[in-house]
Amino acid sequence: PYKHGLLNTASWGRGRGNIMAWDLSYIGKKVEEEAVRLVKDIATDMATNLVYKSPEDTSRFLSNTNASMDAPNESVDENKFLGRSGSIAQCTRAINAMPNDKLHSVYITNHVKYGVYLEAGYSAQSPNGVFYPVFVAVSSMYGRPRVIS
């Protein structure tokens, strides 16, 4: 008699007493869908802020900021010059490609050779690095930042 699969009264039977069973799969599915939406929002905020925090001299570093699902994208194209809006669009497409019904790991990477120097603060445009300050800022927007070493 109840909809949405929350209550299953079919298990009421003779000789077994009154048994009431709750089917929580509907709630579990909704929680997973909400988790997927939250992961996509966080990943989009992270990628967008990484691109804006990245120094834009030749645009090579920010153009090689890659978002991927389930495994890191370690590709580097030394001739890729997308600019900020193109880099954000590239990452957003990859993040939005994640299916809405199943939670996946999202990786945001940049494997340009001089990226280690940018992260170490050798750029006047990003003296505190790129990934670490963005990670802390975006993490604090969604909850307490946690650094995993």
Q: pLDDT tens-digit profile of 66-85?
A: 999 999 999 999 988 888 99
Return the pLDDT at 26.
80
pLDDT over 60 at 2, yes or no: no
Return the pLDDT at 19.
66
Return the pLDDT at 18.
63
Q: How far is CA 139 from CA 2, 41, 100, 135, 142, in A?
A: 40, 12, 22, 6, 5
Tell me how many degrees the CA angle 82-60-128 measures, rounded to the nearest 5.
115
Contact 35, 103 (CB under 8 A): yes
Q: How far is CA 111 from CA 5, 12, 108, in A?
A: 47, 60, 10
Residue 146 has φ and ψ, to the nearest 5°, of -130, 120
Answering whether pTM is above 0.85, one says no
pLDDT average, residue stretch 43-53 = 94
Query: What digits encode the pLDDT tens for the residues 91-117?
Result: 999 999 989 888 899 999 999 999 899
Higher local confidence (pLDDT), 106 or 18: 106
CA distance 66 to 40: 14
